Structure 1
Amino acid sequence: MVREVLSTRSWWGWGTVEGAVTGNERAALVERVAALLPGQDLTDHEPPDPVDLALPPARLRPPDSLAGCTSDDVTDRAAHAHGKAFRDVVRNLHGDLRHVPDLVVRPSTEQQVVDVLDWCGSAGVAVIPYGGGSSVVGGVEPRCTGYPGVVSLDLGRLDRVIEIDTTSRAARVQAGVFGPHLEDQLRPSGLTLRHFPQSFEFSTLGGWLATRASGHYATLTTHIDDLTESLRVVSPVGISESRRLPGSGAGPSPDRMFLGSEGTLGVITEAWMRLRDRPQHRAGASVRFADYPAAVAATRDIAQSGLHPSNCRLLDAAEAFLNAGVSAGGGVLVLAFESADHPVDASLARAVELCREHGGVVDAGPTRVSDDWRSSFLRMPYQRDALARIGMVVETFETACTWDRFEALHAAVTEAAQAAIREVCGVGVITCRFTHVYPDGPAPYFGVYAAGKWGSTVAQWDEIKAAVSEAIAAHGGTITHHHAVGRDHRPWYDRQRPEPFALALTAAKAALDPAGILNPGVLLPEPGVRGRVTW
């Protein structure tokens, strides 16, 4: 008999309580930090019990029709107050919950979603769609003013695959489904969405759609946009449902208006998603380089070759050493190919040949580096939490740029990060990896590991983040490739988007959300607040 393993979501940090870094893993992690930073205060700080935080009482009472799906439980409200960024985790550890939803509402039908928006619209109550709560940009935080109350809208009960069209290879799916449950429901059909962000286990389809999330696959269908056939969205003024089509030239795409809208224009309740057959053929290799520019050039050649690897992840020397245990002066390129139809060995062989033309050396035992890095990758958020508890500054940021700008952007961002780290932390390390590659450019993803001071680590990170964001903006990168805008990226997003588009987005917001209740402060200023962004 297979025994179900029960797990408890952590209210303050990543994932589950059972998945947290403890025992020998924690001891080894702290030992490594102590060796790198002798004299650093590594005192562990336990998270508080939400019951002891004296949260303000809920200001709202739901209508009787919604009472059965509404919670004002203290721990529930605390768990929905922040996302899962480093600054969220640290503030939770300090018990710093200045903005907490009054109620958490979990509808089990679309009609209840309509009822929530009707009630909140008439009462002027802010509504923040929660998704899986894995936002790392302040996207689910009720950091808004001037409202008589705030509701966190959690669609976790809307989690079914309603219909599968095997002929067209598509499925109609409710937006509240988490990644593993979605794949479990698709598996009997032999189909898969094949969308696996790092947050896969703890994020929902609706969250992926609302934030234009990207998965692990490094080429072709990198963003959830590419997998979307149609959307059904509840807005305060009505329901928008687009037609299922493989493609259309009928004016601007209605789906594109809601993809990436981050809960500001409506609540995505269902989507038809494009599926594929589950892969049967796989091949992979890892290639070491002595020179980083050569590694970048090899990666670019592969991205422009038409080979379309499922994984084409370049780890710089620091990333390869810290998270894969590999020494390589120019970094390591992790390659993988897969197909449901045909062997992929020839594609891998050609990609390896391109690497060798740039001095790459293929590792013996091709899957070891990939497996080691993947295991580390899945543990990273848990280890980040453990390091946050001992006063370290550990966080990531990402961007994308064209190949011609990468060298200058990489140098500027690295220099800005190192200067900020020296200024506010004294000592630290910055790493870089490519999460995705396109024929016209890469998506670099940077990691920061720095000595912090307990009680100041949020402010220390905020200074580093501001410095690197300015460098990204100045060198032609996007403020986010897949982490979304939220509230934290707003200052740079406001500068990045064209002004005519900002006017159009503002008009769309006014038309679809006339009371201004949906996720105030995300993408656009709160009603009556001119461009203000406050942390």
Structure 2
Amino acid sequence: MADNGATRSWWGWGTAEGALDPLETDALVQRVSGMLPDADLTAHEPPDVGVDALPAVRVEAPASLADLCSTDPVDRAAHTHGKAYRDVVRNLRGDLAHAPDVVVRPRTERDVVDVLDWCSRAGVAVIPYGGGSSVVGGVEARLEGDYAGAVSLDVTAMDRVLEVDRTSRAARIQAGVLGPHLEGQLRPYDLTLRHFPQSFEFSTLGGWLATRAGGHFATLHTHIDDLTESLRVVSPYGVGESRRLPGSGAGPSPDRMFLGSEGTLGVITEAWMRLQDRPRWRAGTSVHFDGWESAVAATREVAQSALHPANCRLLDPAEAYLNAGATVGGGVLVLGFESADHPVDVALARAVEICRDHGGVPTDDGSTGGATDSGATARDASASAWRSSFLRMPYQRDALAARSVIAETFETATTWDRFPALHAAITEAATAAITEVCGVGVVTCRFTHVYPDGPAPYYGVYAAGRWDSLVGQWDEVKAAVSEAIITHGGTITHHHAVGRDHRPWYAQQRPEPFAAALAAVKRTLDPAGILNPGVLL
């Protein structure tokens, strides 16, 4: 079940009730037909899931854990993959070869300790699982090594805000809480974590921490790292908790060791998180540009201006047309500001002035709106259209996957001086790979986050695929793009994590001494090697 009582889709994104309705589907198919006129858009339905559709269960939990365990076929199927394009396609095709043997839902930290003790003794792999929204193979029991079986450790029953420190604006929160339930528990205190990834509705605090997730907001506190005060982690070695401090110079940070560890070093059970007062003032607009280079230059100047917009999302012409309904020559910059303390119209006016200096034309003078949990800041037509599309994108992706269309994304980050070369290399590599394996397709780009020293570009690929070879086709495109990213100085991931799918390129990106140190930490904390084997290492 979803946090709001709706039924979670076992094979695709979100809830069954949230999937595209017939009108949305028809409109989407018409748009894709115009973009990919030769595509075979025959719809494929997900298979029924029964015992025969899954591998046999290989392990049995101890009697003391039995009431936490499920071997229900649909439950196992729902925990087999994450929510990447290749995951959805494999689910649609009934490829559930890596299904976990047992889904275990601990209710307390003691339960987590007991599960890790059992699995360490029995040689059973443990795949920590929050909302299951991984798009990099991070929650899949695609095991390397000799394991007796695999357990999906679903922590979503541990979902309470345990303590609120209103004076320090912080809260102690269990890791299994989903985004909406977390914000609902903070609302009576007029506080917010202010972390809204696209997966907000279907992802957990522990997942955000374990993957160093990026939120909706484009500047300042962009990653969950920035909001973390302390962590409590259970590993086979023992339970560890860092001290609550606003900052510390006492050696390497213990929190940093677990932030981004993706369940390979331990299971995050609780965290003290830095909170903020809920925003009262908002203002935003969109700015249209005739040239891409001038749009990028304006975005860079805004990022370096210390204005700190909450939203500073640059859409290239293809992205603006497909997902915001705007026809522009160079791009659309969606700007938004918010504050709990003061009006933000002056900051917006200065950002618009910067854009005008680069030839940008704002759609209006900005507007204010009430607080929402979606992170929305701008209310003009382009921004509203893009935001609506942004929230529906995963459902649209599922509908396209069912019709043999490759519709997937990848992201990176680089410095401003390297961006033109990296952007050209990525676009060329993606276009060439699409042409070779699909024949025709479209590559789009947007900036999700911007820093004073560089942007985080996020690319979309839309191409006509073949039902029998969709996963292989996407893998070829992804490999070509990943090589271009690493070769031209980008990061293999800005906020999607490493998982199993990014690991070959992560190995090229990280320094070798660090890799050796990480492996040593893994051997110490997880001597039996049961925690999410194959991820990171």
**Range of TM-score over shorter length:** over 0.9
SS of equivalent to 2:163: strand
Question: What's 1:13 paired with?
Answer: 12
1:119-198 correspondence runs (5 A): 119-144=118-143, 145-198=145-198
Whether 1:115 and 2:128 are equivalent positions in the alignment is no
1:216-295 correspondence runs (5 A): 216-295=216-295
Take 1:390 and 1:205, find their aligned partners in 2: how far apart are those partners?
33
CA contact (8 A) 1:53 1:95 kept: no
1:415-494 correspondence runs (5 A): 415-494=428-507
Question: What's 2:71 paired with?
Answer: 72
Take 1:396 and 1:81, find their aligned partners in 2: how far apart are those partners?
21
Matching residue's letter, 1:25: E
Question: CA RMSD of the aligned region, Å?
Answer: 1.0
Question: What's 1:530 paired with?
Answer: none
Match of 1:401 among 396, 410, 414: 414
Take 1:197 and 1:470, find their aligned partners in 2: how far apart are those partners?
26
Question: What's 1:533 paired with?
Answer: none
CA contact (8 A) 1:173 1:270 kept: yes
Deviations 1:338-394 (A, max 9, x none): 000001000000000000000000113752211110000000000000000010000
Take 1:238 and 1:39, find their aligned partners in 2: how far apart are those partners?
57
Question: What's 1:29 paired with?
Answer: 28
Take 2:482 and 2:499, find their aligned partners in 1: how far apart are those partners?
14
Distance 1:513 1:349, change over 3 A: same
Matching residue's letter, 2:37: P
Question: What's 2:401 paired with?
Answer: 388
Shift of 1:52: 6.6
SS of equivalent to 1:57: coil
Take 2:62 and 2:100, find their aligned partners in 1: how far apart are those partners?
17
CA contact (8 A) 1:279 1:340 kept: yes
CA contact (8 A) 2:53 2:94 kept: no
Take 2:193 and 2:390, find their aligned partners in 1: how far apart are those partners?
21
Matching residue's letter, 1:353: E
Take 2:509 and 2:212, find their aligned partners in 1: how far apart are those partners?
17
Question: What's 1:305 paired with?
Answer: 305
Question: What's 2:344 paired with?
Answer: 344
CA contact (8 A) 2:55 2:97 kept: no
Greater Cα offset, 377-386 or 17-26:
17-26
Deviations 1:383-408 (A, max 9, x none): 00000001000000000000000000
Take 2:169 and 2:53, find their aligned partners in 1: how far apart are those partners?
51
Question: What's 1:509 paired with?
Answer: 522
Aligned residues: 521
Take 2:34 and 2:76, find their aligned partners in 1: how far apart are those partners?
39
Take 2:274 and 2:5, find their aligned partners in 1: how far apart are those partners?
31
Question: What's 1:96 paired with?
Answer: 95
Deviations 1:486-511 (A, max 9, x none): 00000000010000000100000000
Shift of 1:171: 0.3
TM-score (normalised: structure 2): 0.96
Take 1:244 and 1:106, find their aligned partners in 2: how far apart are those partners?
28
Take 2:82 and 2:46, find their aligned partners in 1: how far apart are those partners?
16
Deviations 1:454-494 (A, max 9, x none): 11111110000000000000110000000000000000000
Shift of 1:59: 1.0
Take 1:301 and 1:35, find their aligned partners in 2: how far apart are those partners?
36
Take 1:355 and 1:479, find their aligned partners in 2: how far apart are those partners?
30
SS of equivalent to 2:467: coil
SS of equivalent to 1:404: coil
SS of equivalent to 1:504: helix
Matching residue's letter, 2:279: P
Take 1:355 and 1:365, find their aligned partners in 2: how far apart are those partners?
13
SS of equivalent to 2:20: coil
Matching residue's letter, 1:32: R
SS of equivalent to 1:10: coil
1:39-50 correspondence runs (5 A): 39-50=38-49
Q: Is there any run of 5+ residues in structure 1 with no aligned partner, and where?
A: 525-535
SS of equivalent to 2:172: strand
SS of equivalent to 1:338: strand
CA contact (8 A) 1:420 1:467 kept: yes
Take 1:253 and 1:502, find their aligned partners in 2: how far apart are those partners?
17
Take 1:373 and 1:293, find their aligned partners in 2: how far apart are those partners?
21
CA contact (8 A) 2:51 2:73 kept: no
SS of equivalent to 2:272: strand
Greater Cα offset, 251-260 or 30-39:
30-39
Shift of 1:6: 3.5
Take 1:233 and 1:260, find their aligned partners in 2: how far apart are those partners?
13
CA contact (8 A) 1:233 1:241 kept: yes
Question: What's 2:375 paired with?
Answer: none
